[in-house]
Chains A and B, each alone.
Chain A
Amino acid sequence: MFKKILIANRGEIAVRIISACREMGISTVAVYSDVDRAALHVSKADQAYAIGPAPAAESYLRIDKILDVAKRSGAEAIHPGYGFLSENAKFAQACADAGVKFIGPAPHSMEMMGSKTRARQEMEKAGVPFVPGTSRGLASAEEAEKVAERIGYPVMLKAAAGGGGKGMRLVHARGELRSGLESARSEAQSSFGDSEVYIEKAIVNPRHIEMQVLADEHGNIVWLGERECSIQRRHQKVLEESPSPIVDPDMRRRMGEVAVKVARTAGYTNAGTVEFLVDSPKNDNQKNFYFLEMNTRLQVEHPVTELTTGLDLVHLQIRIAAGERLPFGQSDVSIRGHAIECRIYAEDPDNNYFPSPGKITLLLSPSGPGIRLDRGMYEGWTVPMDYDPLLAKLIGYGADRQQAIMRLERALYEYFVAGIKTNISLFQHILRDGDFRAGRLDTGYLERLVAKGAPDVPSLTAEHEGEAPETIAAIAAGMFAVLDPASPVGKDGGGVNPSSVPSNWKQQGRLEGMR
């Protein structure tokens, strides 16, 4: 087993990997950019090294700097987390060349799957069903127009190197194609350093369901159940759950077997995820699924699978990378209970969900039965504007979906972040929604829900019996001022002793008398 692992990432995932390493008795090396010196992952690691300025291209994406830190610190392996270099085959190759174990698949699998276009070519050969479109990058806007004309609008433009919704544009008509292509390319370039963009037919309002696989380096591959990821906004997942409300044991097995076939075709090792689009047919018996892409990394939403399978995917990733065999077979895997993850983003629900970086002035975190919180933030920390807005993941687990929802609602009620805006209220909205409760989900669900406008979230269950909330707020404001003179409430509005309160008329007279 490794003695020391470098974590080439930041935020909640770096903290989560550091925790796993500590549990396994492995020491950890963090890397950080100039704006991340105070970040949580730096404090939690055993060692930490600065790797450059805030822009990811000059720090977290610098292969040379990260390998230099690995060498200086004596790390034997590198865990890339998700995003950044996690799906970069050149990085995996550079690690191999430097004699450092990359915790993930081999470079050739990443190359095949990392390029969405090549993956489509391979799946075609292996007979895996996929969404129609080009399986090569677009050379020009003219070509895009020609292909779009052939497969029919709406179409989806996608970064070949993409992931996490970056570099993606839905185009409804010919008129939007050029500007869509331009912005997809520009975003692809700035996010992945690669502007290749391809086109595929946009399946309107599909479900997005993915299958977790795990492969060791001895040819053993298992699937660990699906995750329902249909709740997205701007192609960014917002809430995920396992199992999916529409997947039955037979469909789960069929999806699992296709996912294992995909992994085998790619010569895949370590943890990976095969994403499928599932169309929403009139007849529920005919649910078709299409291969969308394979994510050659640990996913943001891996905790829901960990809770329903009882496995620790990061522990297993590390053990597989160290050459161990999978300690169980497919028949040992059982799915138990239900888990739902809420991605807590720094964004403003009242301002079109724009990013909201800034200083966290107060943080009250939930805990208790069935609640898991993976976080990269803490009170007093200033959330930098340079990276992804994901602050934390709140995961609820229950014996069934209903209990998982109830626990999450309770936890969201306890969760409070001040100083920056977060999307916590959005989850209160979703969890209460009738369609969500009934499991009627597709990738257009969240846009429709948000367009309906935020309802008043009735929050004060038992408190409704008491005074009106406005009355409570007024009294509370005064109490902040008297109990804590340093509180911002008391700052300008210092109260006065009753005896010295004159009427405004008297005051006015006094002022005039002073002139």
Chain B
Amino acid sequence: MVYEVIVNGQPHRLELEKASSGWECRLDGRSIPIDAVMTRRDVISLLIGGHSYEIKCEQTAGDLHVWVGNTRFAVELRDPRSLRSRNRGAVDEKGPRKILAPMPGRIVRLLVTENSEVGAGQGILVVEAMKMQNEIKSPRKGVVKKLSATTGASVNPGDILAIVE
């Protein structure tokens, strides 16, 4: 099998072939002797040149990571046949900024109203989760164009709470 593997943004070409014993592996054209077994779901034992690694796989909200020891790597596997557009859209520091819920929780207080002026770092609202109240702050100086959050409402990570422009 041939994969394009993107590790922390860096693309690699990976070829894996089942051999009589273990696997034949070529990474970016370099042949590496490996052996791998799945010890349980999301965990593999990987042997590379006599070194042993316990590798864990984690998927959260669309992101995929593999863990080598205590180090986490963002990975993406692509079919090398597919065409892809990689422009992710740079963040515009000057444009409107969405304030997203960083975690599931409940909105306990609004600290500003729509159309009020806020400074960078000023509190917009307070979200409570796991008994902790967390102030969500404005990422920039500007005007609160939209305040979609309401007191008492439950929110999920990624929900738009407000837009500061």
Contact = CB atoms under 8 A, between A and B. Distances in A.
B133 interface: yes
A332 interface: no
B71 interface: yes
A481 B83 contact: no
Contact of B15 (A428, A459, A498): A498
B27 A471 contact: yes
A362 to B, nearest CB: 5
B134 A487 contact: no
B48 A467 contact: yes
A47 interface: no
Interface residues of B, number: 67
Interface residues of A, number: 72
Interface in B77-123: 77-83, 102-106, 108-109
A466 interface: yes
B2 A346 contact: no
B3 A483 contact: no
B58 A479 contact: no
B149 interface: no
B46 A475 contact: yes
Contact of A496 (B1, B48, B67): B1
B147 interface: no
Interface stretch (A202-210, A253-261, A300-308, A502-510): A502-510
Given A467-B32, A484-B41, A488-B64, A476 B46 contact: yes
Given A357-B129, A385-B104, A496-B80, A478 B69 contact: no
B160 interface: no
A357 B79 contact: no
A355 B67 CA distance: 22
Contacts of A467: 32, 48-49, 51
Interface of B: 1-5, 7-8, 10, 12, 14-16, 18, 23, 25, 27, 32, 34, 36-38, 41-44, 46, 48-49, 51, 53, 55-60, 64, 66-71, 73, 75-83, 102-106, 108-109, 128-134
Given A419-B58, A482-B23, 20 more contacts: A190-B131, A385-B105, A388-B131, A418-B57, A420-B60, A460-B68, A462-B51, A466-B51, A470-B7, A471-B27, A472-B68, A475-B46, A476-B36, A476-B68, A477-B14, A487-B42, A488-B64, A495-B16, A495-B80, A504-B83
Interface of A: 166, 183, 186-187, 190-191, 234, 346, 348, 351, 354-358, 361-362, 364, 385-389, 413, 416, 418-420, 425, 428, 457, 459-460, 462-463, 465-467, 469-484, 487-490, 492-498, 500-502, 504, 507-508, 511
Q: Which 3 A-B pairs have the closest CB atoms?
A: A493-B77, A495-B1, A459-B70
16 contacts: A351-B103, A358-B104, A364-B56, A386-B130, A418-B60, A419-B60, A425-B70, A460-B69, A463-B68, A467-B51, A472-B68, A475-B14, A480-B57, A482-B23, A483-B44, A489-B77
